[in-house]
């Protein structure tokens, strides 16, 4: 074989390899999409199965206008809490208050959102949550709860959780759990 023929064989082999690698990449993308869809389907099944088994248990609320495809797959890390990524931070924080159904600190909310927003720096995430809580508090969508002992920060909660200015017992934080360290 002459040099020109060998170069032609190498060129064709490289082209064939490029096409195969391209096909493999496309197949990998399709596999990942399929895996995400499987996770979504399993989450929906678990969600509604647990909802049927226990109506009193807190379950994620997905509005009828929210399709599963609009829920980011990374939000399925904890299938018990889901929200639409296109929602404002105020809506996200409100959804988390509904999910937890008790007063929360800003630090607790930030910690809850951290797995879903790995692309955010700590400061950016804390800023987004703090701003949302401040705006909700200003709009009287949240009320401040001071537990009465020295601690940094405050607890925030739904104004309906308060009666005559006092937080109802069922919405109070578990201080025993907080103080064990």
For residue 57, what are the domain limits? 1-85
Q: Within this chain, do residues 79 and 94 fall inside the same structural domain, yes or no?
A: no
* Band of pLDDT at residue 74, cut at 50, 70 and 90: very low
Domain boundary among 85, 108, 140: 85
At 119-152, the pLDDT tens digits run: 889 999 999 999 999 999 999 999 999 887 766 7
**Res. 54: pLDDT tops 80:** no
**Res. 71: pLDDT tops 70:** no
For residues 96 and 113, the answer to whether their CB atoms sit within 8 Å is yes
Within a 13 Å sphere around the CA of 84, how many CA atoms are in the beta-carbon half? 14
Look at the block and give the residue holding tokens 């949302």. 132
For residues 63 and 30, the answer to whether their CB atoms sit within 8 Å is no
Q: How far is CA 64 from CA 67, 68, 84, 111, in A?
A: 7, 10, 12, 28
Phi then psi for 157, rounded to 5 degrees? -160, 170
At 31-43, the pLDDT tens digits run: 777 877 777 777 6
Q: Within this chain, do residues 74 and 102 fall inside the same structural domain, yes or no?
A: no
**Res. 17: pLDDT tops 50:** yes
At 20-30, the pLDDT tens digits run: 888 888 887 88
* CA–CA distance, 80 with 150 (Å, rounded to integer): 33
**Res. 178: pLDDT tops 60:** no
For residues 60 and 99, the answer to whether their CB atoms sit within 8 Å is yes
Residue 98, both tokens: 């509904």
Domain boundary among 85, 111, 141: 85
Give the total number of structural domains in the chain.
2
pLDDT mean across residues, the chain: 78
For residues 143 and 128, the answer to whether their CB atoms sit within 8 Å is no
Residue 146 CB neighbour total at 10 angstroms: 10
Domain boundary among 27, 62, 85: 85
């Amino acid at each position: 074989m002459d040099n020109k023929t060998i170069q032609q064989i190498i060129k064709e082999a490289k082209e064939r390899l490029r096409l195969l690698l391209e096909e493999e990449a496309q197949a990998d993308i399709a596999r990942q999409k399929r895996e995400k869809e499987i996770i979504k389907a399993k989450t929906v099944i678990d969600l509604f199965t647990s909802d049927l088994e226990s109506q009193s248990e807190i379950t994620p609320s997905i509005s009828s206008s929210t399709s599963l495809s609009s829920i980011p797959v990374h939000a399925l890390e904890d299938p018990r809490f889901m929200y639409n990524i296109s929602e404002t931070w105020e809506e996200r924080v409100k959804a988390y208050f509904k999910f937890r159904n008790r007063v929360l600190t800003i630090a607790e909310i930030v910690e809850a959102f951290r797995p879903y927003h790995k692309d955010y720096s700590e400061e950016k995430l804390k800023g987004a949550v703090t701003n949302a809580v401040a705006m909700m508090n200003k709009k009287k969508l949240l009320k401040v709860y001071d537990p009465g002992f020295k601690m940094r920060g405050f607890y925030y909660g739904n104004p309906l959780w308060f009666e005559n200015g006092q937080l109802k017992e069922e919405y109070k934080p578990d201080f025993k759990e907080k103080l064990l360290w």
